[in-house]
Structure 1
Amino acid sequence: MERAAQSGDRVKVAYTGRFVDGSVFDSSEGQPPLEFTIGAGEVIPGFDSAVMGLKTGESRTIDIAPEDGYGLHLPEMVAEIERRQIPDDHLLEIG
């Protein structure tokens, strides 16, 4: 019998990340699965813990709270800069 993934295991995960409204913000579709070691701090904590206990071929739908992801929105950490401060050859994207 196959064992469940645990801390220290190297895993490969196909995933799709969605916002609450259902729009996709990231996905492994069309590329190799995300490979990481569980518990090594290579991915956000909520993703790490969600993979724990899965067996090969299993899937899971999860919601990751901000504190288990990239953290809460902190307005004091947002900086506004003028476009002229960015080199002309630098491509900008919304988001």
Structure 2
Amino acid sequence: KAGQRIGMRYIGKLTTGKVFDKNVSGKPFNFLLGRGEVIKGWDIGVAGMKVGGERKLTIPPALAYGKRGAPPDIPKNATLVFDIKLVTMK
């Protein structure tokens, strides 16, 4: 639900397969769901998940970093692919 603090594990890749970011060990990546703390594709894609759930999110540029990208790792107009696992929810 919107407003819940979510803890995630993830691997983020470009459609070429190049990994640009990951969180697979240590402290999970935390954010408040539905509050704009992450790219829109994550707020949409994580909604409805349960602890232990896993998904593959393919996020178009309009729901990610769009025309500006996130230099140097994410080019402009990039579609992003995330393998995610929800590990905590408060």
Q: TM-score, normalised by structure 1?
A: 0.68
| RMSD (Å), alpha carbons | 1.7
Corresponding residue number in structure 2 for 1:44: 39
Structure 1 gap segments, 5+ residues each: 1-5, 75-93
Q: Which runs of 5+ in 2 are unaligned?
A: 74-90
Q: Which runs of 4+ in 1 moved over 4 A?
A: none
Relative contact order (alpha carbons < 8 A, sep ≥ 6): 1 or 2 greater?
2
Which one of the candidate residues 12, 19, 28 is aligned to 2:23? 28
Bigger radius of gyration among the two: 1
Task: Report deviation, 1:73.
Answer: 4.7
Which one has a larger percent strand, Structure 1 or Structure 2?
A: 2
**Are 2:57 and 1:62 equivalent residues in the alignment?**
yes
- Paired positions, count: 71
Higher helix share: 1
Whether the 8 Å CA contact 2:3–2:34 is kept in 1: the answer is yes
Which TM-score applies when normalising by structure 2?
0.71
